[in-house]
Amino acid sequence: MLRQLAVRREALFAMLGLATAWQIASLFFPSYLFPPLPAIGAAFAKIFGSWEQVGNALATALRILAGLAGAFLLGVVFAVAMAKSRKANDYLFPILHFNQGIPALSWVVISIIWFKSIEFRIWFIMVVTTVPAFAFQILDAYRSISKDLHEMALSFRPSRYDMFRTVVLPTVVPGILTAFKVNLGNASRVVVVAELVGATGGVGYQLLQMQQLFDLAGALAWTLVLVLFVLGTQQILTLLESRLLRYRAQSERGL
């Protein structure tokens, strides 16, 4: 507990230091390069003072969550297939590994050529860029199941459901939560790129508008909106992790 408070205090001091340095820089540089903090704050407040702007923020949040949900489900299918079949692993592993090397911008171009629906384009880009991390993380977690634990559980002749509930699930849940944390940051960057091309709403679209208006304060305000969403969602995942894995916390305190 004390360690967590110390980390939070240091993080707060770091952010205050960054804000102070930015404000000092705004005194010596033009406002279009370093807008003062009050201007950024006003632009940020303006976003939440308009239902239309709030709708843009919510659209991006929903796109991220929908993309992660689709990637997670597909990643589970791939992970199970690779875990159960050596041939499936031999075919799917190189394809997923190859996919990891394809830039998100390339998928943006491909999706524009392939699909007409803007929402489906964005969802497709989100899924295809995040599914490898889900598949590999879940597969690694499954393969990390202790052989001794597995054999001991089999000695009790459990049903498939009991084996999944007592052995498989507790082992793969930490990997799933880690994959969500990692992919959340990746998805937030990918969705902005996807929204920059062809979207008529969302944070990426608003950033494009700010760029055309040469409004750095507005661009930073929209960036903060996305960052706060990511940090808030990660905090929810952390709370969920502490709830689901509270037995780990007890063992760590006992060391």
State the chain's mean pLDDT as an integer.
Answer: 83
The whole-angstrom separation of Cα 98 and Cα 198 is 27
Q: What pLDDT was estimated at residue 219?
A: 92
Q: What percent of the chain has pLDDT over 90?
A: 24
3 state DSSP class of 28 = coil
Residue 129: what pLDDT? 92
Which of the residue ranges 21-35, 163-177, 214-228, 241-255 has the most confident prediction, judged by mean pLDDT? 214-228
pLDDT above 80 for 249 = no
Q: Which CATH superfamily, name and number, covers 41-254?
A: MetI-like (1.10.3720.10)
Q: Where are the alpha helices (DSSP H) in 146-215?
A: 147-154, 160-163, 169-196, 203-213
Mean pLDDT of 92-120: 89
| Domain definitions of the chain by residue range | 41-254
Does 247 score more than 80 pLDDT?
no
**Letter string b/e over residues 7-25, b meaning 16 or more CB atoms within 10 A of that residue's CB:** eeeeeeeeeeeeeeeeeee
Contacts 24+ apart (CB under 8 A), 221-227: 221/40, 221/43, 221/44, 221/46, 221/47, 222/47, 224/40, 224/44, 225/44, 225/47, 225/57, 226/57, 226/60, 226/188, 226/192
**Predicted pLDDT of residue 195:** 85
pLDDT at residue 16 greater than cutoff 80? yes
User: What pLDDT does 223 receive?
Assistant: 92
